[in-house]
Amino acid sequence: MLKKLRKLDALIISKISKLHNKVNNRIMAVVTILGTGIIWFLLCVPLALTKDNLDAAINIVLALFVSWIVGEVTIKSLVGRVRPIEQLPEEEHIIKRPRHSSFPSGHTSSAFSVLAVVMVRCNLYVIIPVLIMACLVSFSRLYLRVHYLTDVLAGVVVGFVCGFAAVGLFDAITHNLLHIYLA
């Protein structure tokens, strides 16, 4: 089973590499930079400015923190998977090689933790662009050969779990604070 997954990972990387050209490389490099968290924190600004979405903005920051702890600090440290880019000569690198290991994709887990929060807290006009951006960020990680498909899929799962857990945690905290305040 593991052998088949590795074969599939390599095949996907190979197929996506056929899309490489100067324009696509620049676009994907920008998308991946935005996916470092910049886009998600920028999303919080307009949300925080409206009373109806302030909870969503705060909850997004909590979800990003939870997904960072779970994905980057815990799982990546335990798994230590080598990235596909490390098997390429330097001249084939589109972006600088990331420092940390590959599994799961932190960009993807961040994106999908935000999507989970937005799905619970926001209207469709917010959900759709966040979904599109989350998918673009995830694809950019494959395109740039810094993750395998299984890294990205694991990032989706970690992101959703952390995002929905952050919603529950946020609700529990605000409920308890409200209860204390009203007591």
Q: Note the pLDDT of residue 30.
A: 92
Let me know how long the chain is. Answer: 183
pLDDT digits (tens, 9 = 90+) for 147-178: 999 999 999 999 999 999 999 999 888 877 66
Q: Note the pLDDT of residue 80.
A: 83
Cα(183)–Cα(180) distance, integer angstroms: 5
Q: Note the pLDDT of residue 176.
A: 72
AA identity, residue 121:
R
Q: Note the pLDDT of residue 168.
A: 94
Q: What is the domain partition of the chain in residue ranges?
A: 24-182
pLDDT digits (tens, 9 = 90+) for 21-30: 999 999 999 9
Angle at 83 between CA 159 and CA 42, to 5 degrees: 40
* φ, ψ of residue 33 in degrees (nearest 5): -65, -45
Token readout for 143 is 């395109």
Q: Note the pLDDT of residue 63.
A: 96
Q: Looking at domain 24-182, which of 3.40.50.2300, 3.40.50.300, 1.20.1050.10, 1.10.606.20 is its CATH number?
A: 1.10.606.20
Q: Note the pLDDT of residue 91.
A: 74
pLDDT digits (tens, 9 = 90+) for 101-146: 889 999 999 999 999 999 999 989 899 999 999 999 999 999 998 9
pLDDT digits (tens, 9 = 90+) for 67-113: 999 999 999 989 988 888 887 767 777 777 778 888 999 999 999 99
**What is the value of pTM for the model shown?**
0.88
Q: Note the pLDDT of residue 22.
A: 92
